[in-house]
Chain A
Amino acid sequence: MKPDRAQVDLPDRGALDRRLQLRHLRVGFVALFLFVTMGIALETLHAFKLPWYLGVATESRRLLWTLAHAHGTALGLINLALAALCARLPRRLHPAASPSLIAATILIPSGFFLGGLYAHGGDPGLGAVLIPPGALLLLISLALIVRASLPARGGKDDRR
């Protein structure tokens, strides 16, 4: 009898979840560390009133870096949430969900940061081109997580 394809290709769900948990814990905490540090740095720039950050001509930079800080921190928390909850999802996560979320965690805040670093007048720098694909990847990963959180087909829960 020919074996079921799922039984051949797919690794054990428990092992997969543990790998996912570890990966997203790392990414989440690294992102939190980086972007909380960035928040503190931005506050310091405020304290010392650096025109390079607070001047009228650098308004776009201020906005974009604030967005980088906010998005980076929020994405770090989303990674931690996925790490905490992935084992409890009724369905197996699509293989693209995790890399998409991690790529989005890299692309979105980096896009805002680089866009601000090289802001030209009212326009962001080239880095801003990373934001739309990052947003798309985030959307895809969230959709895949939602899909995995729906009840398993035929009521069969594949959690271990």
Chain B
Amino acid sequence: MESLLVWTIAGVAVIVLLGRSRAPSSLLLALALLASTAAGDALWSNARARRARSAEGLRQSLPERATQNGYVSSNSCRACHPSQYASWHRSYHRSMTQAARASLVLAPFSGETLTATDGTTYHLRRKDDELWADISGLGPRRITMMTGSHHMQAFWIPGDRGNEQIEFPFTYLLDDQRWVARRDVFLVGCDYTKSPSMWNRICIECHVTGGQPGLDRLTGIPESRVAELGIACEACHGPAAAHARENESPFRRLALHDRGAGDPTIINPARLPPKRSAEVCGQCHGIACPPDGWLQTGIPYRPGQTLAAEKPILELASLKRSACRDQIAADASFGPSRYWPDGMVRISGREYNGLIESPCFKRGPITCLSCHSMHDSDPTWQLSAGASGNGACLKCHPAIGQKLEAHTHHPAGSSGSECYNCHMPNTTYGLLRAMRSHQISVPRLADTLKAGRPNACNLCHLDRTLAWTAAALARWYGTPTPSLTEEQRTIAESVLELARGGAGVRAIIAFSMGWSPAEATSGNDWMAPYLIELLSDEYASIRYIAYRSLKRIKGFEDFRFDYVAPPAARWEAQKEARRRLALMTVKVADRRPELLFSPQGQFLRDALERLLLERREDDEMVLAE
């Protein structure tokens, strides 16, 4: 039909051109018009057939589009909400899951060959707008989906059953512009193994909108459906079919606009009561127990409903009473891989668990939107305007703002006077870095002594002992001084945590050693020997973080280290780092015994090794970020 219409129009134009005149110039123009239409038709048809084949291949592999639950997709939302659409489109929520296309991918796919530990090779390439991996022993496989676009990008290939999507064994790190094995982007020990994840079982819960895993109860074969790939408008505002239908009428829109009230046909989290509003984010940013049958029909929670009724949040203390207790009992690492021993969440992406344990939430009106905004923020941390400094806290605590230095005992404007640094320290881990805890808390030594979690003070004052911190807290706030061991009185807490802490703690300390407020407060010359030591840590992610922090130290800016290279190459690089260190002089101020330096500025490696041998917690750890 399209072709017929085009040729009809071209024919009419030819008739007009020729008209009654048979002038050679008109004839020439008519011929040129016919020739260009014919050439265009041939090229167009060919390109369209190719595109259609490619789209059909992708459509068959991807989850089917589900519209029956009242979802209409962001496609419909932009018509009336172009600026909100644009701000969401800039966000990383939007690109959390995308159909894999060469025009969207951030990894090169330019002929690189990746080799897995089992020797399987993956030759990556593009073909038109398609992404392909030629897998040794398997042949070519089309990459059909990709996850993430902020820190890293992961990929999925179709499995053999239903529309299952299987984890591609390599991830592309965007900052480093390199491929690494999937396991090397998580905090997992070197002995950790697992079979490739199935997207339809795990990611579909939160990385799409309106996901229905559709797993067959007997065979486990998925026929998954989604309203939309990525976390789109309806994930937070609820299904919008009724809203879109009602508002087709311009008169209704005008009336709503004049009234200035919300529209009852849609959920606006900003208009919900604080606790209900936070639940909208909590549906994904919390550790939860999905209801029975979710692997078939998806999570029934919709924004505006009570989260506890549809997807109860799991706290460490209530794990044994939860509906998921049987699954949790079968996995001894469930608790330790998600919570600190005192119940505080230790992994990123589960901020809602932290928030609901905060006094500001329990006794106050705080909600996620008090600090964050989807539509009025920078995509990186999605902090709303005015929430990146103390403004967010001082809205409710203006009296503290008036006597800031008296409260913080640090100069106003310094990192020690920033509310976040003391009350939301970087004690959660995810995406190869430490992140802020969202459990708003008061710095206490008990965090370290009972829960084994680095305390906020010593995350900045990395060069100080616990005794020093205890004395400061006692002097300023009258906090009782706990009894401390000889080591805790004489050795800097960060050194002890690096030596004796578990992998999660070492990762946090290694990150803090490259964190600018800590560098400014503690200096960083003395950190090099510790970070060099961590280059041989058995956890790849710790090696990665340590290397990033080490490169910030003068003299190591150009130091090269591949955190996933074979052990011999890593040891060689570590030796090179030690050689560099030996040639450097440590500042007089850093020649302190609590940092294991001799008065002559020599690093007392023997002392560190003694600590390592005596105290290192060598438990195999996995953090379930």
Residues of A that sit less than 8 Å from B by CB:
47-51, 54-57, 94-96, 99-100, 102-103, 106-107, 110-111, 114, 117-118, 120-121, 123, 125-130, 132-134, 136-137, 140
B327 in the interface (beta carbon within 8 A)? no
| New contact pairs (14) apart from A129-B37, A129-B44, A130-B6, CB-CB < 8 Å | A50-B79, A54-B79, A55-B76, A56-B74, A95-B23, A96-B23, A96-B29, A106-B16, A114-B5, A114-B9, A118-B2, A128-B44, A129-B36, A137-B13
A48-B250, A99-B19, A106-B9 known; A130 and B2 CB under 8 Å?
no
Q: Are B45 and A49 in contact (CB under 8 A)?
A: no
Closest to A103 in B: B13
Q: Is B25 an interface residue (CB 8 A)?
A: yes
In angstroms, Cα B432 to Cα A26, docked, is 71
In the complex, chain B residues whose CB is within 8 Å of the CB of A95: 21, 23, 25-26
The reply to whether A51 and B75 contact each other, CB–CB distance below 8 Å, is yes
- Asked whether B80 is an interface residue with its Cβ less than 8 Å from the other chain, the reply is yes
- Give the number of residues in B that approach A within 8 Å (Cβ atoms): 43
Given contacts A106-B9, A120-B51, are A127 and B2 in contact (CB under 8 A)?
Answer: yes
A55 near B9: Cβ-Cβ < 8 Å: no
A126 contacts B36, CB within 8 Å?
Answer: no
Q: When A and B form their complex, which 10 residue pairs have the shortest distance between CB atoms, in order from nearest? A: A129-B40, A54-B79, A103-B13, A55-B75, A110-B9, A49-B79, A96-B25, A126-B44, A47-B250, A56-B75
| B78 contacts the other chain (CB 8 A) | yes
Closest to A122 in B: B103
Please indicate the chain A residues that have their CB under 8 angstroms from the CB of B33 in the complex: 103, 107, 133, 137
Closest to B44 in A: A126
Whether A103 lies near B16 (C-beta < 8 A) is yes
Asked whether B17 lies within 8 Å of A99 as measured between CB atoms, the reply is yes
B residues near A136, Cβ cutoff 8 Å? 32
Residues of A within 8 A of B248 (CB): 48-50
Residue of A nearest to B253 (CB): A49
Residue B10 CB within 8 A of the other chain: yes
Select the residue from B18, B33, B72, B247 with max chain A CB neighbours within 10 A: B33
Closest Cβ–Cβ distance, residue A130 to chain B (whole Å): 6
B600 touches A (CB below 8 Å) = no
Q: Which of the listed residues A48, A130, A136 has the most CB atoms from chain B within 10 Å of its own CB?
A: A130
B583 interface residue, CB < 8 Å from A?
Answer: no
Please give the distance in Å from B99's CB to the nearest CB on chain A.
Answer: 12
Complex interface: chain A residues within 8 A of B6 (CB): 114, 126-127, 129-130
Q: Contacts A48-B248, A133-B37: A106 and B12 contacting too (C-beta < 8 A)?
A: yes
Sample (26) of A-B pairs whose CB atoms are under 8 Å apart: A49-B80, A49-B248, A50-B79, A51-B75, A55-B79, A95-B21, A95-B25, A99-B18, A99-B21, A102-B16, A103-B13, A103-B16, A103-B29, A117-B2, A120-B48, A120-B51, A123-B47, A126-B6, A127-B2, A129-B36, A129-B40, A129-B41, A132-B40, A133-B32, A136-B32, A137-B33
Residues of A within 8 A of B380 (CB): none
Q: Is B85 an interface residue (CB 8 A)?
A: yes
Does chain A have a CB within 8 A of B3? Answer: yes
| In the complex, per-residue mask of B152-173: 1 if CB is within 8 Å of any chain A CB, else 0 | 0000000000000000000000
Please report the C-alpha to C-alpha distance between residue A122 and residue B463 in the assembled complex, in whole angstroms.
Answer: 57
Interface contact B23-A130, CB-CB below 8 Å? no
List, in ascending order, chain B residues with CB within 8 A of A125's CB: 2, 44
Contacts of B74 in A (CB 8 A): 56
- Is the beta-carbon distance between B9 and A107 smaller than 8 angstroms? yes
When the two chains form the complex, which single residue of A47, A54, A99, A114 contacts B2, counting CB atoms closer than 8 Å?
A114
Interface centre among A55, A111, A117, A128 (most CB of B within 10 A): A55
**Residues in chain A near residue B75, CB distance under 8 A:** 51, 55-57
**A132, B23: Cβ atoms under 8 Å?**
no
Give Cα A117–Cα B9 distance, bound, in whole angstroms: 14
User: How far is A96 from B32 in the complex, measured between Cα atoms in Å?
Assistant: 14
Query: Nearest Cβ in chain B — how far from A66, in angstroms?
Result: 15
Q: How far is the CB of A143 from chain B (nearest CB, A)?
A: 12
Query: A99 — which chain B residues lie within 8 A by C-beta?
Result: 16-19, 21, 26
Looking at B9, B39, B48, the one whose CB has the most chain A CB atoms below 10 A away is B9
Q: Which of A57, A99, A111 has the most CB of B within 10 A?
A: A99
A94–B25 Cα gap in the complex (Å)?
10
Which interface residue of A51, A57, A126 has the most chain B CB atoms within 10 A? A126
Q: Which residue of B lies closest to A107 (CB)?
A: B13
- Checking A47, A110, A121, A126 against B41 with a beta-carbon cut-off of 8 angstroms, the contacting residue is A126
Residue on B with the closest CB to A111?
B9
B245 nearest CB across to chain A (Å): 10
**Most A Cβ at <10 Å: residue of B5, B21, B23:** B5
